[in-house]
Amino acid sequence: MPDFWSQTRFYGSFTSGSISKDDLRPFSVEEKIQIQIAVKEFERLVNNTYSPTQEQSDYINERLRYLADAVDRLNRFDWKGLAISTVTSIAINLTVDTEGGRHLFKLFQQAFEIVMRLLGH
């Protein structure tokens, strides 16, 4: 069984210790477009890497669609929290071990590299 608490240190590049005024701002139109692209890229990477079953794929697509749509209603801070929750729930759904969870988050970082720079990380 994966130890997701021990994996939280891998989320450090996506989180910070305090909430800034920037974190509470909504996304710009350009950022929303970049996030939509990054979500699709993450979906592609997950499907190519893990070859999920149809049921798993449906779940992953649903969670990622929800994440992508959330940029229209959440500020940056809340969206980042949802992103971490989404990646964790996908890892659980794929029943990956600790190393698999690390790899999944690395795929997330890879897909969101440009977006993370836009968000100041």
Query: Where do the domains of the chain lie?
Result: 25-118
Q: Taking the model in full, what pTM does it have?
A: 0.78
Nearest to 104 by CA among 36, 32, 11, 35: 11
Name the token pair of 108.
Answer: 């997330």
pLDDT at site 117: 67
pLDDT at site 13: 47
Residue 98 has pLDDT above 50, yes or no: yes
Mean pLDDT of 96-119: 82
Name the token pair of 45.
Answer: 């990477």
pLDDT at site 24: 86
Whole-number percent of the chain with pLDDT over 90: 58
3-12, 72-81, 109-118: which has the minimum mean pLDDT? Answer: 3-12
